[in-house]
Amino acid sequence: MDFAQMLENLTPYAIPYAILAAWLAVISVISVIVCIYDKVISKTGKVALRIPEKVLFTSLPLLGGSLAMLVTMLLTRHKTKHWQMIVIPIILVLQLAVLIGVSAVIALGII
């Protein structure tokens, strides 16, 4: 099956999920790269090149990179002792709740 046939077989509701999946893949890769970059730069001591904690703990997770950011931080042990670390799992749970809720509304035919 080629790409054109796959597009023909998509239901109208599958397209937003495909776009969401593509967005989450891109933002997750960006989140992993940013987290690893900050970890590497932290070892050099060049404070001016560091990524602000606001970006690591809120901006990227809110854009959809919460799962990738959380896993990367735990695996690399980067900023895991900061109290702001609790924000990332909270964002992840809220994002999952919204996704489940929207999916349920669509599945029930309310929209």
Whether 50 contacts 41, CB under 8 Å: yes
Whether 50 contacts 86, CB under 8 Å: no
Q: What is the pLDDT of residues 41-100, one digit of tens each?
A: 888 888 888 888 888 888 889 898 889 988 988 898 877 788 887 888 899 999 999 989
Residue position matching structure tokens 């999916």: 103
Taking the C-alpha atoms of residue 26 and residue 19, their distance in angstroms, rounded to an integer, is: 11
Whether 92 contacts 70, CB under 8 Å: yes
> For the packed helices 66-76 and 87-107, what is the interaxial angle rounded to 10 degrees?
150
pTM: 0.78
Q: What is the pLDDT of residues 23-33, one digit of tens each?
A: 999 999 999 99
